[in-house]
Amino acid sequence: MFTDKDIAVLVQQSKLFLQNSSDVNYIENNIEQLRNVLRFHEYRYYVLNDALINDNEYDFLFSLLETAEQKNPSLITKDSPTQRVGSSLNEGFETVQHLVPMLSLDNSYNAEDLQDFDRKVKEVSGLQEIEYCIEPKFDGASISLIYENNLLVRATTRGNGVEGDDITTNIKQIRSIPLSAPFSQYGIEQIEIRGEVIMTKDAFNKYNERLTEQGLPTVANPRNTAAGSLRIKDPKEVANRNLDAFLYHVSYIASSNSSKGGALEMFNSNVTAQISSLSNGGATHAEQLKLLWDCGLRSTEKIKKVAKNIQEVIEYVTTFEQKRDELPYEIDGMVIKVNNLSLQEELGMTSHHPRWAIAYKFKARQATTILKAVEFQVGRTGAITPVAKLEPVFIGGVTVSSISVHNEYYIKEKDLKIGDTVLIERAGDVIPQIVKSVVEKRNGTEKEITFPTTCPVCNNTLFKEDDEAVWRCINIECTAQVVEKIIHFASKDAMDIKSFGEANVRKFYELNLLKDIPEIYKLDFSKIGTLEGFGKKSIDNLQAAIEASKQQPLNRLIYGLGIRFVGETTAKTLANSVEHLLDCKHKTEEDLQQLEDVGIKVAKSIHHFFSNSSNIQMLEELEHLGLQLKNTKKQAVGSGGLAGQTFLFTGTLSKLKRSEAEALAEQQGGIIVSGISAKLNYLVVGVDAGSKLEKAKKINSIKIISEEEFLKLIGG
Ligand code: IVH
């Protein structure tokens, strides 16, 4: 899509925009160039996976465009990179007709099925050998896109195949799908493209981490999550889930020099006939994939394989099956397509599937085994997790011998009993799940799974909140919880104490060298030195890592405390809302609820933590031991005319960028906070201010001022 020369120019232009970022005229006069630069970097990052600038530089360039467009709304174009963001839907999705019905695929499971398919194709064509194009069969949700005059005008779910839901706004959140593409260069006025929205294993695991952090149940597999994500009504949330897409089929093309009106009339006629008669789309499927790729779309161009005959297909798909786990996303098979488009047309289709394509389904990564026992583990927050112990079974490349069965309800819902034969499924990197118990195999000796009423570690009575599925041990001195808490405190995303992982924590705890978090900072290294496997070097490293962790910023410390529902994001919000962590002692639940994304449940949990005197004692001890409980960012604030005054900016400012305004306030000693609370002095309101303004109006002490008033306040 871009020549080396184009790339050199675009990289140079990126540099110029970064250098001239404060020259408003330069930005405004070259705004389309700036958009192109951003589109180019999106393409490098999301389609090619080969970014040429870092995230901060991209965000900065993006903010330049945003500011320029906000100042001059007439300069905004429909396909500007800023136009992905959409507003939430109140109503349901609109139902729209596909230009051409979305068909399914016939399935094959072995070499014989593929030979049969090939035989039928040969019969129709009279040819000796058929050329095929092979692609992965993505395990996601199918979509249909329409570009008209180079603009993405509509994106639809499959629906019933004839009509689907208009999900354009949600699809625009997927950065690998461009808002515009230069189809007109190929004489194409309108094009309908089919593809699959997927969630990579990485995005899926991150999403589950986020759910866990928020105390929500995790999701079971990337396919359902991708499909579900397309139908949520909040595009921002769709963007947060980092969906991805591959495009694999052109279902309709109208070229600029043919009459366009034919599209819907041709609704039920042969798709490929339209392609070959109306388009410059090429003579083979592979050429169409290349055309899409050349227009900047993430087609299967780079992962497809053209095979000379069915033997090559069989060899390729069987070898590919072995490699499926190496891919960053889930596939459930391969799709084999007759490459020649006029032969596709000749073969036609049934009402269900085209006769020119077939799916080769990989063997399901499922297996049956025996559920031998259920053990109950105690987590960091005291949650009791039942873990099914299985007769070890090899599935999808690994041996599985235990699986979490989550909670009491899950066990009931799946009707699990000890001694049952159970069906296990494993999708890629995703944690194995029990699909069901095979009740037909029961012989009457199976036993009910009984939930304990006391903690399996400390024997204290277990409790359960009415609205929760989880039983908990609430004894904060429960050994299991203490060890898990220390492990979490030292972990990578918290205090990041290198060489102080799970194994060492458990070992030190068992040897009585460590009883609680503060004791990490009081370890007796001379004793550790006598342990097997601890030479001078490893002791030095451990000591240095523990010492270094004292300087970790407040948000990491807060996260490390393992307060229920306080994940990394809430930890940052909380850190930014105080000057010293112990200020939290004085915050009421209502104060806490004023913080961004802090709801009743989270506020209650934070309040509960800071109302507990042993927690306060522990924090005081940590401070005494040299840990950072002060918010150092706030400490750095100067002593200008606004010293100590707190500011929050909301809505879109017209004269300043948000970051500039914040910097100006800070220069004069102001403090930037992230949420509305009684401690906020000034809320500076721009255009389209939302819920923060509403919240602030309810607190009399907050001064609500405009951008102009803010400028006056800081001296013009
Ligand atoms: S071609 C008319 N290619 O699998 C041709 N489909 O089980 C339509 N799928 O409905 C489909 N990867 O959602 C095609 N590389 C690929 C695919 C693919 C996944 C999906 C598609 C289809 C389903 C059939």
* Per-residue confidence (pLDDT) for residue 476, from 0 to 100: 79
* Per-residue confidence (pLDDT) for residue 262, from 0 to 100: 34
Atom nearest to 334 CA in ligand 1: 15
* Per-residue confidence (pLDDT) for residue 277, from 0 to 100: 40
Question: For the CA atoms of the chain, what is the radius of gyration?
Answer: 30
Rounded-to-integer distance, Cα 181 and Cα 292, Å: 9
> Residue 201: in which H helix or E strand, if any?
helix 201-213
pTM beyond 0.75, yes or no: no
| Ligand 1 centroid distance, CA of 258 (Å) | 29
Measuring from atom 6 of ligand 1, which residue has the nearest CA?
Answer: 137
Among 15, 120, 122, 137, the active-site one is 137
Q: Which two tokens stand for residue 655?
A: 């004269």
Q: How far is CA 282 from CA 134, 186, 253, 289, in A?
A: 17, 10, 11, 9
Q: Could you tell me which of 592, 590, 524, 594 has the C-alpha nearest to residue 558? A: 592
* Per-residue confidence (pLDDT) for residue 270, from 0 to 100: 39
Measuring from atom 9 of ligand 1, which residue has the nearest CA?
Answer: 137
Measuring from atom 21 of ligand 1, which residue has the nearest CA?
Answer: 142
Query: In this structure, are residues 37 and 60 in contact, taking their beta carbons and an 8 Å threshold?
Result: no
Atom nearest to 135 CA in ligand 1: 15
Query: In this structure, are residues 357 and 335 in contact, taking their beta carbons and an 8 Å threshold?
Result: yes
102, 104, 105, 338: which to mutate for ligand 1, most atoms within 8 A of CB?
A: 105
Start-to-end C-alpha separation, the chain: 48
Atom nearest to 251 CA in ligand 1: 2
| Ligand 1 centroid distance, CA of 117 (Å) | 17
Rounded-to-integer distance, Cα 395 and Cα 405, Å: 18
Measuring from atom 23 of ligand 1, which residue has the nearest CA?
Answer: 104
Q: Could you tell me which of 300, 155, 170, 144 has the C-alpha nearest to residue 241? A: 170
Angle at 291 between CA 287 and CA 297, to 5 degrees: 130
Q: Which two tokens stand for residue 507?
A: 């070992």
Name the 3-class secondary structure at 509.
helix
Query: In this structure, are residues 647 and 682 in contact, taking their beta carbons and an 8 Å threshold?
Result: yes
Q: In which residue are the tokens 């970051």 written? A: 659
| Ligand 1 centroid distance, CA of 101 (Å) | 13
Query: In this structure, are residues 298 and 136 in contact, taking their beta carbons and an 8 Å threshold?
Result: no
313, 335, 351, 353: which to mutate for ligand 1, most atoms within 8 A of CB?
A: 335
Which residues, given as ranges, of the chain have pLDDT below 50?
A: 258-279, 634-638
DSSP string, 39-73: HHHHIIIIISS--SS-HHHHHHHHHHHHHHHHH-G
Q: Could you tell me the sign of the dihedral formed by the alpha carbons of 302, 308, 312, 317, in that order?
A: positive
Atom nearest to 271 CA in ligand 1: 2
Query: In this structure, are residues 616 and 610 in contact, taking their beta carbons and an 8 Å threshold?
Result: yes
* Per-residue confidence (pLDDT) for residue 430, from 0 to 100: 63
Atom nearest to 249 CA in ligand 1: 1
Ligand 1 neighbours (beta carbon < 6 A): 103-105, 135, 137-138, 142, 194, 196, 248-249, 300, 335, 354, 357, 359
Q: How far is CA 212 from CA 205, 489, 557, in A?
A: 11, 17, 19
- 325 has which bridge partners? none
Q: Could you tell me which of 668, 678, 677, 674 has the C-alpha nearest to residue 644? A: 668
Q: Quick one: 246 exposed, middle or buried, by C-beta within 10 A (0-12, 13-18, 19+)?
A: buried
DSSP assigned state of 453: S
Q: Could you tell me which of 50, 52, 74 has the C-alpha nearest to residue 61? A: 52
Rounded-to-integer distance, Cα 635 and Cα 671, Å: 10
| Ligand 1 centroid distance, CA of 334 (Å) | 9
| Ligand 1 centroid distance, CA of 123 (Å) | 24
Atom nearest to 136 CA in ligand 1: 15
Q: Could you tell me which of 687, 696, 634 has the C-alpha nearest to residue 665? A: 634
| Ligand 1 centroid distance, CA of 561 (Å) | 47
Measuring from atom 18 of ligand 1, which residue has the nearest CA?
Answer: 137
Query: In this structure, are residues 610 and 587 in contact, taking their beta carbons and an 8 Å threshold?
Result: yes
Angle at 164 between CA 159 and CA 166, to 5 degrees: 140
Query: In this structure, are residues 622 and 517 in contact, taking their beta carbons and an 8 Å threshold?
Result: yes
pLDDT tens digits for 156-205?
999 889 999 999 999 999 999 999 999 999 999 999 999 999 999 889 98
Residue type at 46? Y
Measuring from atom 13 of ligand 1, which residue has the nearest CA?
Answer: 142
| Ligand 1 centroid distance, CA of 353 (Å) | 10
- Strands 188-198 and 141-148, bridge-based pairing: antiparallel
Q: How far is CA 518 from CA 470, 498, 549, 550, in A?
A: 29, 17, 12, 11
Angle at 675 between CA 671 and CA 680, to 5 degrees: 50
* Per-residue confidence (pLDDT) for residue 640, from 0 to 100: 65
Q: Which two tokens stand for residue 141?
A: 């949700």
Rounded-to-integer distance, Cα 713 and Cα 706, Å: 10
Measuring from atom 17 of ligand 1, which residue has the nearest CA?
Answer: 137
| Ligand 1 centroid distance, CA of 202 (Å) | 23
| Ligand 1 centroid distance, CA of 186 (Å) | 25
Rounded-to-integer distance, Cα 71 and Cα 66, Å: 9
Name the 3-class secondary structure at 241.
coil
133, 135, 156, 248: which to mutate for ligand 1, most atoms within 8 A of CB?
A: 248
Atom nearest to 107 CA in ligand 1: 7
132, 137, 192: which to mutate for ligand 1, most atoms within 8 A of CB?
A: 137
| Ligand 1 centroid distance, CA of 691 (Å) | 43
Q: In which residue are the tokens 């032969």 written? A: 343
Atom nearest to 300 CA in ligand 1: 15
| Ligand 1 centroid distance, CA of 105 (Å) | 6
Write the secondary structure of 614-676 as one string of H (helix), E (strand) and C (coil). HHHHHHHHHHHCCCCCECHHHHCCCCCCCCCCEEEEECECCCCCHHHHHHHHHHCCCEECCCC
Measuring from atom 2 of ligand 1, which residue has the nearest CA?
Answer: 103
Atom nearest to 357 CA in ligand 1: 5
| Ligand 1 centroid distance, CA of 371 (Å) | 36
103, 133, 138, 347: which to mutate for ligand 1, most atoms within 8 A of CB?
A: 138
135, 196, 353: which to mutate for ligand 1, most atoms within 8 A of CB?
A: 196
Q: Which two tokens stand for residue 52?
A: 């040429």
User: 468 — phi, psi (to 5°)?
Assistant: -120, 155
DSSP assigned state of 531: S
Active site residue 536: no
